[in-house]
Amino acid sequence: MTVVNDLAAPRPGPWPIEQVQALAPTPASLIAAQPVADLARWTNTGCDGDGLWGRCRGGGGEPYDCVVDHVRVAFRCSCPSRRHPCKHALALLLLWARGLVAEG
């Protein structure tokens, strides 16, 4: 899991969109995450007091497994991206920030 330590302490509950945007490693990463932040592309999403998770349909045969620890601000995704967070983690955070990831 990739941990980002230089951010302010996370707030409980969904983050504001601006906090998600601040995590993007490049502006292009955030642009790439926008179409992925569509709940129709995700299955098995959920969240709790520590993290978010879900499976995202990508271009390949198998969906990508994505996990975000929103307390320690860490990410893991099975996609081959070298960017951290990847567009899938950013998209999952965007869904959460919009109130579209259910607890459980």
What was the pLDDT predicted at 72? 94
Q: What is the pTM of this model?
A: 0.87
User: 3-state SS of 52-89?
Assistant: EEEEECCCCCCCEEEEEECCCCEEEECCCCCCCCCHHH
The string of pLDDT tens digits covering residues 26-68 is: 999 999 999 999 999 999 999 999 999 999 998 778 999 999 9
pLDDT of residue 68: 97
